[in-house]
Chain A
Amino acid sequence: MSTYTDGAPPSVSSGMRNGPDGQQEPSPVPAAGPHDPPQAAGDHTDPPEPAEPSSGPVWLQAEIRRRMEVNRSAGGGRHARREGVDRPGIEDYLGRDDEPGPGVRRPASPPAAPESDNVPPPGRPEASPAIHRPPRPAWMARTDTADTLHPPIPPEPATPPARILGTSAPQSPSGIPEPDPGPPTADLTSRDDPATPTPTRVRIVLSERKASAARSVRTVVDVQELTPVGDLLRTNLIGSQLGAALRVAAVAGLVLAVLPALFALFPELGRMSVLGLRLPWLLLGVLVYPFLLGLGWWYVRSAERAEQEFADHVQD
């Protein structure tokens, strides 16, 4: 690992940006030369635009990644531990980058990654497989095994990265042992502790893949251990649930509170006859029950949706 990082620095810059994990080092670097820089630039400009159409979840995803990054750079994250050996190299590399500093830049980059997934699908996938092949025989071997496991990925350059993200997890296990000679392995075991065995697989192949799988393990732990990411997810869940409840309560409260006042202020309303029933009797004696039932159903739907979203973020 460290060799890649150290050897690659000059041209890696773009790859580094795309994948916050700091592991992008290896592959993207050499081949990326022509493609990557513009792409990276695009990544940086893009985020705001795509964020507009796809609303809440995207924003949340971005924020989650940002917090995970902050966490990691603070030294608490799994990645920090793992990369301990390589530290100097990484820092050097970062220093060379034209951006102000690691602390500042890292938080900024993660949002870019998800966005870029959505926006320039055609460019990306082409780039990634192409990029990966050339570097080394070792990598070749790895990707080959991956191919046999999951044929779709290499042959489908046009597949949106999102798909690749999804399939990546199972793919990577084969790759792990090879690239990680010493320190990483130790770290892998420690990473297994949380619960899921999958995290280990994720590590090597692609920056995006790593990011997604890392999230799946992390967030469960994050949420349980009340890290900043967990805080975000929890407050977001409670906030959306409370929002849904208050929305429904506001509708119910408004309707129920306005009716007595209306009947008091406009007595003629009370004498109106609809469908053979006096209006107040029709409204207060009959229609109010389906109304309350409808509100209840509405709330259950939105509450369950909010929970599903939360579950998606946690489990991914």
Chain B
Amino acid sequence: MSTSALIALAAIALVGVISAIIGSLGVRVARSTSDFLVASRTVGPLANASAISGEYLSAATLLGVAGLILREGADALWYAIAFTAGYLALLLFVAAPLRRSGAYTVPDFAEVRLGSSRLRRVCTLFVLLIGWLYLLPQLQGAGLTLTILTGLPGWIGVAGAGIVVVLTVIGGGMRSITFVQAFQYWLKLTSVAVPALIIGGLFLSDARTFDRPSAPQFPVDTSVRIRTDVVLQVGGPVTFNATGEVDGHEVEGQVHWEPGEHVIRAGSSLRFASGTEVPTPVGSPITDQEWLNPMSGSAPNQLLEIYSILIAGFLGTMGLPHVLVRFYTNPDGEAARRTTVLVIAMIGGLYLLVTQLGALSRLYTPQLLVTGQTDAAVLMMPTAALGAGWFGWMISGLVAAGVAAAFLATSSGLVVSLAGVLFTDVLTGRLRDFRFAAVLSSILPIVLALTVTRLDFALTVPLVFAVAASTFCPLLVLGIWWRGLTPAGAIAGVLVGGGLSAAAVAVSLFASVRPGLLGVLLLRPAAVTVPAAFLTMIVVSLLTRSGVPADVDRTLLRLHAPERLGLTASRFDARDDR
């Protein structure tokens, strides 16, 4: 194993160990069940905001956004915007009332507001679905990181990440998770900021430019192994050496490509000389100049795609179970609001740096365009830009640590919230044990991650957001702001939105999607499913008007009145006494 791999492994292990230490320190503070689940609601806004950001900025979004920018250019900026704007929507419509509801899972909220146990079961189902769907790319990403940095097989990364996550959660529940995740946010920020500053400085002193009428060129002689079938396009004639199946022929030796599209089968290896123009995946911009401009690729329905991503991100964030559970740790509604503003700043700041890294990766790691593994851009940048020396390795190790922290933070947050739901709603009798629930909630995604082939983060993450936006967003928004919501309406809306989006997920994950309007809508269903869910919820509620809960006014008062007035007793206190 090479030195760089050892450094990266050591950095990742260090993150795991430090997380475990912080987690176990937190255990001493965790006493009651409420301690365990919602950190006693005594976490300060800064710590809480760090934890929320740490949890939210998954490696999938961190690596995925940079990779998308490398491939798509200006159009990919919308992903980061959607992920950040999601917290604005959460702040506007959900944060304070949700905290005041005194509930700590979405099913809990559904019951507080509508008092229907059937709705509660439906919500439980979708919390589990969304959580598992989102855990999948997280764990697979851990495998990708390990493979790229060390050359070890990916399953070790998946299994290792799974085990560390379960141990952290079992160790101390939410309380320790809060501090662990706060630590992980700052680690992530450092691990992105340092290379962004160093490589950014290098770029400025280099006098290189993006504004070129040609495709990016391989900076050095590069060999590329193709792991999945790809369709590439070139803007000018390209000559390279190849072994494997190219354009339907077995090739061994030199290949000459005319401008156009070319197919390469998995298992081929290509060797490009320094200075050769880099072929790009079909549909994405070819030349650097096109890449700089918005709406540049040749893919159809780009505008629809952008709007769909914006809707999914804007409305989907509030529906993610691990995001919601965080808000219960705020001391009151006002603190929840201020925390969210801090979160917008923290997430925005980090995406700013990630955007910069993604753009720079077009210069330093263009070979990823050929393999299709653009998600690895951030990981490979340091050694590509700084050279394979100790300096490059150390920075690379720092990035590895940050990415590992990102995986651990999001995964453990997801496991906590899933375990919380399993614990309160599914498990009964002797099995009703939080630790058991934690193990149970992570087994399925670990197994799936080991067996299902990995897809681009750019594909999987927006899908999860779309499901969340089509189920819990309408439930939360209408539940908080509309008096007329009925249990029947809520159930119908969640089922329609969730059913449609889940179907889209299934089709796009397990079947090949044809390009075109339908294809775009299958991959980015939010533009259709979210309005459908809202509409169903409203129409069915209006039809079943008699189902409006009798205590709706009292509930709404509790959701909106400031706690300091003492108008309503905290439900949470009552719970504590139980």
- Please give the residue numbers on chain A whose beta carbons come within 8 Å of chain B beta carbons, in ascending order: 220, 223-224, 226, 230-231, 234, 237-238, 241-242, 245, 248-249, 252-253, 256-257, 260-261, 263-264, 267, 270-271, 278, 280-281, 284-286, 288-290, 292-293, 295-297, 299-300, 303-304, 307, 310-311, 314-315
Contact = CB atoms under 8 A, between A and B. Distances in A.
6 contacts: A252-B88, A257-B310, A263-B294, A284-B81, A289-B348, A314-B565
Contact of A293 (B96, B348, B351, B568): B348
A260 B78 contact: yes
Given A245-B92, A261-B303, A303-B96, A224 B84 contact: no
Given A286-B355, A288-B348, A303-B96, 5 more contacts: A249-B93, A261-B303, A267-B293, A280-B294, A310-B565
Interface stretch (B31-39, B133-141, B253-261, B332-340): B332-340
A245 B302 CA distance: 29
A260 B74 contact: no
Given A284-B74, A284-B81, A292 B344 contact: yes
B10 interface: no
Contacts of B341: 293, 296-297, 300
Contacts of B96: 303
B310 to A, nearest CB: 6
B469 interface: no
Contacts of A256: 81, 85, 310, 314
Contacts of A226: 553-554, 557
B88 A296 contact: yes
A293 B481 CA distance: 23
B77 interface: yes
Q: What are the 7 A-B residue pairs with the smallest beta carbon separation, nearest first? A: A289-B348, A284-B77, A263-B294, A245-B92, A296-B341, A270-B293, A280-B74
A270 B74 contact: yes
Nearest to B352: A289
B556 A238 contact: yes
Contacts of A288: 81, 84, 348
B567 interface: yes
Given A260-B294, A281-B74, A223 B352 contact: no
A315 B74 CA distance: 53
Interface residues on B, range: 35 or more
Contacts of A271: 293
Contacts, number: 140
B295 A267 contact: yes
Contacts of B310: 256-257, 260
A245 B94 CA distance: 10
Overall SS of chain B's interface: helix
A292 B88 contact: yes
B547 interface: no
A307 B96 CA distance: 11
The CB with the most chain B CB atoms within 10 A, among A226, A260, A270, A315, is that of A260
A271 B74 CA distance: 11
A290 B347 CA distance: 11
The CB with the most chain A CB atoms within 10 A, among B85, B292, B302, is that of B85
Contacts of A257: 307, 310
B91 interface: yes
A314 B351 contact: no
Nearest to A315: B565
Contacts of B565: 220, 310-311, 314-315
B476 interface: no
Contact of B562 (A280, A292, A310): A310
B561 A245 contact: no
Interface in B533-578: 553-554, 556-557, 560-562, 564-565, 567-568
B348 A292 contact: yes
A245 B567 CA distance: 23
Nearest to A247: B92
Contacts of B422: none
A267 B74 CA distance: 12
Contacts of B306: 260
B269 to A, nearest CB: 35
A293 B89 contact: no
B344 A307 contact: no
A278 B74 contact: yes
Nearest to A261: B303
A250 to B, nearest CB: 10
B237 interface: no
A245 B78 contact: no
B78 to A, nearest CB: 7
Contact of B77 (A237, A281, A295): A281
Contacts of B556: 234, 238
Nearest to B477: A245
A304 B336 CA distance: 12
Contacts of A278: 74, 292-293
Contacts of A242: 481
B516 interface: no
B348 A260 contact: no
Interface string B490-501: 000000000000
B557 A260 contact: no
B100 to A, nearest CB: 11
Contacts of A223: 557, 561, 567
Contacts of B356: 285
B557 A289 contact: no
B345 interface: yes
A296 B344 contact: yes
A237 B294 contact: no
Contacts of B303: 260-261, 264
Nearest to A314: B565
A241 B564 contact: no
Given A256-B310, A260-B294, A280-B74, A238 B92 contact: no
Contacts of B349: 289
A304 B564 CA distance: 12
A296 B553 contact: no
B352 A299 contact: no
B351 A289 contact: yes
Contacts of B292: 270, 278, 281
A252 B481 contact: no
Contacts of A281: 74, 77, 292, 359
B553 A234 contact: yes
Nearest to B69: A285
Contacts of B92: 245, 248-249, 299
B561 A310 contact: yes
A293 to B, nearest CB: 5
Interface string B75-115: 00110110011011101110010000000000000000000
Contacts of B77: 280-281, 284-285
